[in-house]
Amino acid sequence: MNVRHSATGFSNRLFAEQALSRSAGAPLIEGNAVELLIDARAHFDAWLAAIASARRHVFLENYIVRDDAIGQAFLDALVERARAGVFVAVIADWAGCLGQSRSSFWNPLRQAGGQVRIYNPPKLGSSFGWVSRDHRKVLVVDGDVGFLSGVCISEKWLGDPARDVPPWRDTGVMLRGPAVAEIEHAFADSWRETGEPLPNDERLSPPVSLPEAGHVSLRLIATQPSTAGMYRLDQMVAAMATQTLWLTDAYFVGVAPYVQALSAAARDGVDVRLLVPGSSDIPMVASMSRSGYRPLLKAGIRVFEWNGSMLHAKTAVADGRWARVGSSNLNIASWLSNREIDVAIEDAGFAGRLAAQYEADLENSTEILLRGRRRRTGNERMRSRSPRPPRPRRAGGSSGRAAAGALRIANTVGAAITQHRVLGDTETGPVLAGAATALVLTLVAIVWPAAIAWPLAVIGAWFTVNLTVNWWTMRQRRKLPGRAPDDDASVG
């Protein structure tokens, strides 16, 4: 009997491991050491120390690199290593750095021998290509140590003591062991996406095998546009959690399938919690996100709002055994459109540390509650236990905020038009905003029709040029010698 139960337990573990590996598209990697990094100062200190120790190569990939004191500190550190003969390669995102730093910011590094590439600027022949962003925050040094996080290279993450604005709340990890090679492979893939692959350089030659640095098992999930590996894993974890599932997210957008997965877990007795910003770096996004609380709260999911200046962390911890940290937000932009990178850690010790940090974060948070209203059966409104925190004074932040806001407005206004569900009290704001927007567009179209016609003409011209370029590219490709006539054929 005991042998049978033991065999059954072993079989279940193998089944769960196989399900997680296939969902994420990433195998379990053993023998790693993982250190939890909390907030930007710890990140910046560790990152700069690692860069200073580089002897062979430095790979840096970050959504935002801002031309400020922190950005200059990183630029100086990279320039110094490049002049010392270290191979330095940097990938920054075009949209993330727009208004944060110019191309000329990187001239000192280029002159020192470093290489810099900008991910996915708008270009002809790609009508919607600019939508995809490189939202990763990665640093790898010498193939020995790797970092991934939600922290961008900007002093905004440090807050503003002069204005009594506390640092942003963010989370990342430092890794050693075999998983570092997977981070380097992910960087090499991003580098290849922006141009020629990494060169055959002895400074880039990895060791024959990275020695085990600890006893932590993990999966490195480096997602690309349209792959949805992180989405499948998030869904799988929501389905497999049996006791607790505690989530932290900066730009949560409750798409129906994921909300249903969380709701099913909560109704099955799982302690599901969601911690989100109380005041976003884009205040409108926070107010629109609140319109999605009601179905979560009705399902028994506990929702908390951070009382600090900005909560930018993206983490999950389940059953005290599984944890996720990285760059992916719980929204469509991160799941389907962006290049993201996260680590899913299967270790009770690390999960315990992240759970303890989560409970500490809740001490600085406000829980959102449902309170029944008299004389209105079936409707509920949210009640906070403490006053709303002050909003950050300066904007900035992460990919997917605009998409999150637009999707929330679209979902809410669509619900009002189609009447496919009852709207909660907190959803009246987005409905009013949608009505006001429609009214303004109507008045503008009547009084100044050119103000509507010209933007539409520009959009039409953009698609015309891009589709023409696509047609010409396909035509030229067909003319290449040795190309079979049916190379472009698709199977129905």
Distance between CA atoms of 33 and 345, rounded to whole angstroms? 11
Q: How many Å apart are CA 275 and CA 312, to the nearest integer? A: 11
How many Å apart are CA 191 and CA 128, to the nearest integer?
21
Q: Which has the closest alpha carbon to 212: 175, 174, 178?
A: 178
pLDDT confidence of residue 254: 78
- Classify each residue of 172-203 as buried b or exposed e, where b means 16 or more C-beta atoms within 10 Å of its C-beta: bbbbbbbbbbbbbebbeebbebeeeebeeeee
Please, are residues 8 and 16 in contact by the beta-carbon 8 Å criterion?
Answer: no
The pLDDT value given to residue 311: 96
Binned at pLDDT 50, 70 and 90, residue 491 comes out as very low
CA distances from 160 to 156, 359, 389 (A): 7, 25, 16
CA distance 485 to 42: 57
Above 60 in pLDDT, residue 486?
A: no
35-77 confidence digits (pLDDT tens): 999 999 999 999 999 999 999 999 999 999 999 999 999 999 9
Q: Determine the Cα–Cα distance for residues 232 and 79; give it in Å rounded to an integer.
A: 40
52-66, 278-292, 366-380 — which one is most confidently predicted on average?
52-66
What is the reported pLDDT for 442?
73
pLDDT classification of 218: cutoffs 50, 70, 90: very high
**Separation CA 101–CA 97 (nearest Å):** 6
pTM of the predicted structure, to 2 decimals: 0.79
**pLDDT tens per residue, range 77-122:** 999 999 999 999 999 999 999 999 999 999 999 999 999 999 999 8
Helix H, strand E, coil C: the string for 4-41 is HHHHHHHHHHHHHHHHHHHHHCCCCEEEEEEEEEEHHH
Instruction: Report pLDDT for 128.
Output: 59
Tokens 């999707």 belong to residue: 407
DSSP3 helix / strand / coil % (the chain, rounded to 5): 45, 20, 35
Q: Cα–Cα distance between 423 and 102 in angstroms, integer?
A: 44
Range in 252-266, 345-359, 379-393, 459-473 with the lowest mean pLDDT: 379-393
Cα dihedral 379, 284, 245, 360 sign: negative
Q: Give CA–CA dist 32/71, Å, rounded.
A: 30
Q: Which residue has the tokens 């990890």?
A: 173
pLDDT tops 90 at residue 133: yes
Specify burial of residue 491 (Cβ count, 10 A radius: 0-12, 13-18, 19+).
exposed
User: What pLDDT is stored for residue 457 in this prediction?
Assistant: 66
pLDDT confidence of residue 387: 45
CB atoms within 10 A of CB 212: 14
- Evaluated on CA atoms 103, 106, 112, 118, the torsion sign reads negative
Q: Which two tokens stand for residue 320?
A: 């005290």
> What is the Cα Rg of the chain in Å?
24
Looking at residues 461-473, what average pLDDT do you find?
A: 68
CA distance readout (Å), 10 to 5, 269, 318, 351? 9, 25, 20, 22
Spatial CB neighbours of 327, under 8 Å, sequence gap ≥ 6: 63, 135, 136, 137, 148, 149, 150, 314, 334, 340, 341, 342
